[in-house]
A and B are shown apart, each in its own frame.
Chain A
Amino acid sequence: MKIHKYDTVIVGAGGAGMRAAIEATKRSRTAVLTKLYPTRSHTGAAQGGMAAALANVEEDNWEWHTFDTVKGGDYLVDQDAAEILAKEAIDSVLDLEKMGLPFNRTPDGTIDQRRFGGHSRNHGEAPVRRSCYAADRTGHMILQTLYQNCVKEGVEFFNEFYVLDQLITEVDGVKHSAGVVAYELATGEIHVFQSKAVIYASGGTGKFFKVTSNAHTLTGDGQAAVYRRGLPLEDMEFFQFHPTGIWRMGILLTEGARGEGGILRNKDGERFMEKYAPVMKDLASRDVVSRSIYTEIREGRGCGPEGDHVYLDLTHLPPEQLDAKLPDITEFARTYLGIEPYTDPIPIQPTAHYAMGGIPTNVEGEVLRDNTTVVPGLYAAGEVACVSVHGANRLGTNSLLDINVFGKRAGIAAAEYSARTASHVELPEDPASLVVEQIERLRSGTGNERVADIRRELQETMDANVMVFRTEQTIKTAVEKIAELRERYKNVSIQDKGKRFNTDLLEAVELGNLLDLAEVMAVSALARKESRGGHYREDYPNRDDVNFMRHTMAYREVGDDGAESIRLDYKPVVQTRYQPMERKY
């Protein structure tokens, strides 16, 4: 075991982690621990753009953006945070341009902007061009630009270091972050990183679904690490299903395709979104569009022999426009489906895409241990966190924005905390013990359960029971199945017993994280007896502001007998200028 000492440790090197690292490295001795090489993160898969009311091509302002974000989130958004998001969006985009990001340009040479779902002029009058973009590879450009600037700033990376545990030390009865414990993939060695501040920026948890746009590596490692240490997770029942994933594969096809004029059609060729969202049509918010697609499919208007998908039609758009604005997604259709998007519609279905919930933070990125108290030295930003700027449903282009605005904020706040804190808090006694025990148990396990089987069953139950449509019955089915799988996971064994690059072991650890988080999600969903944003209960189809205008806070509890359970609590929503209204598009 090796012990390292830094001022600030950042967990994860995607957009939020690297944005934080650029700030933190300037202000404190910083290490970035990342289970992937920095440019491998899933920020790179984001396509359509980053929202900011630059007003480069038409009238726009940050207040309209704030309103759209609050409405898009079905009023579960903390409005003070949304206001910061929309206001700081403008400087965030300009920061990236100054760092070198190659945005598409207008004829005047300014940053070009395009339409995106749920973004509107003057509180819902009509779609507005707010998304700043670089073809359909905006996430790729953000990731590359941030990595380039990390190279410039000399950010210190520990690549393929997998953080498995959060260390907490009580000082005068107050829980402080003391550092993290990481597993080095190349050698199997365990490292303790003692630090004044820790920032989680480790991304989402989409791999508990089968049809998902998420990378194989998005297994909720950060959420699981803090949750197991008794810290809460907020709003985990809210998961976004992106309307246009490639049929059966789940690969994302950007909403920018509809922003450029693409149309969703059912088997009769009907533009069905006109029925569900007369104003915004195909550019209604994602939860609305995904439910509409499944409604078409359930009512027998789906496409294909099994009627299990609909079409994204781009055939009426000029090939030059597709080449210039949507080169990557048209290539995906050619590569993976053998379809030519110039002439043929693309089969799509909703795909599990984004966790609105996560580790609760305030607007400085400080992690909360209950509804109001922060854990000194602990921060989170990006998809792993819940500020909450996305509420019950995130608007497209607001996640690339979130990682930049709150990545920067967390980076500055954590480094300033490190700078003003005289000394490190002491490490707990035997700090690596939990991780050593976990690794040894998995490596020496001789049970008859296999990781791949349990993961497959988990993904199947999540797709079947807690996806776009949910009921008491389906969620209970999922809860029971997850409990069974968690029991079986205790008897899991792996084939690779080695130390070097043991990805077999890593997948077993990741599955443990997914099981814990799936349970939190299902239990949180069961208790929320209403429909709001991405959480749709067929047995409670309406939003219930009287009982559920509040954030879910889920805590892991361990009884005296060692039995684990989940305790749910609730946190008020911050409302400033917008009163909840019925949500129409």
Chain B
Amino acid sequence: MATPTLDKADGAGKPEAGFADSPYITATFRIRRFNSEVSAEAAWEDFQLEIDPKERVLDALHKIKWDQDGTLTFRRSCAHGICGSDAMRINGKNRLACKTLIKDLNPEKPITVEPIKGLTVLKDLVVDMEPFFQAFRDVMPFLITKDTNEPTRERLQSAEDRERFDDTTKCILCAACTSSCPVFWNDGQYFGPAAIVNAHRFIFDSRDEAGEQRLEILNDKDGVWRCRTTFNCTDACPRGIEVTKAIQEVKRALITRRF
């Protein structure tokens, strides 16, 4: 990308006590920086640090923030792939920083880290998530039933019926899939894979009775028909959800009206 590169920072981040036996390596992290309070333009900045390659990219970002440059800004919370805060583009691919080990990235070369695409960058690796969550809310992502009398005990559901939508219950709303989708990059109106995954989770839940309504929402010009089955979303999903397959199942349900 044709953006200027800032001066390199000095190396820092000494190995911690107790890990002296670990095979530390020196790695370069090339991070795309943006701070509107400083400059209207984004720029790449290189940071070098000594790090155990078995550590996560998130550990590297923390070492940079804590020991070199406190202004480096990113979201994170759980640090083990459950909360969905730290989706970012690492070496050109969408991943969670806390689930990506440095050794799996060829640390011989600079490791690039940039914000996920298709959402407005607010600062460094932080993007505006609001359009993403709006698309999620638009598919009515909650169980809808027409019971006139609520059952006193749980609704029954066979293990097979429960299994039918298991894959799409795993979504953590990290936006790795949606922001890897070329259609979404070009048209922010497209619902995007994550919203469709969450619609799928309810359409194929035997307890739900609003499948038709959700299908109509996704029959829209910005709905499932925009999907070009590039499989970027499936590759990007840190939870291993077969996202493209789920989208295809929704398309099929729209044609057959069976789900």
Residues of A within 8 A of B (CB): 36-37, 39-42, 44-45, 93-94, 97-100, 102-111, 134, 137, 140-141, 144, 148-149, 151-152, 186, 215-217, 249, 251, 328, 332, 335-336, 338, 450-452, 494-496, 498-504
Contacts and interface: CB of A to CB of B under 8 A. Distances in A.
A94 B136 CA distance: 25
B93 interface: no
B156 A108 contact: yes
A93 B155 CA distance: 12
A61 to B, nearest CB: 16
A97 B99 contact: no
Contact of A100 (B82, B162, B207): B207
A98 B155 contact: yes
B81 A335 contact: yes
A335 B99 contact: yes
Contacts of B248: none
A39 B71 contact: no
Contacts of A500: 35-37, 122-123
A37 B156 contact: no
Contacts of A217: 77
A498 B35 contact: yes
Most buried by B among A251, A332, A503: A503
B77 A105 contact: no
Interface string B188-225: 00000000000000100101100000000000000000
A504 B154 contact: no
Contact of B77 (A110, A216, A335, A452): A216
Given A495-B70, A500-B37, A501-B123, A104 B162 contact: yes
B162 A44 contact: no
Interface of B: 35-38, 54, 65-67, 69-71, 73-85, 99, 101, 122-124, 126, 129, 133, 136-137, 141-143, 150-151, 153-159, 162, 165-166, 169-173, 202, 205, 207-208
Contacts, number: 147
Given A45-B83, A140-B82, A501-B126, A452 B67 contact: yes
Contact of A498 (B69, B71, B173): B71
Given A151-B141, A495-B70, A495-B71, A40 B80 contact: no
Contacts of A502: 73
A102 B205 contact: yes
B155 A45 contact: no
Contacts of A141: 169
The 10 closest A-B CB pairs, nearest first, are A100-B143, A495-B70, A452-B66, A109-B156, A504-B70, A148-B142, A152-B142, A496-B71, A501-B123, A97-B154
Contacts of A109: 156-159
Nearest to A108: B156
A169 B205 CA distance: 49
A494 B73 CA distance: 13
A216 B156 CA distance: 39
10 contacts: A42-B77, A98-B154, A99-B143, A100-B208, A111-B154, A140-B170, A215-B78, A335-B81, A451-B66, A452-B67
Given A39-B172, A498-B35, 11 more contacts: A37-B85, A41-B77, A41-B83, A44-B83, A100-B142, A104-B162, A109-B157, A109-B159, A336-B80, A452-B66, A498-B38
B71 A504 contact: yes
Contacts of B159: 104-107, 109
A443 B163 CA distance: 52
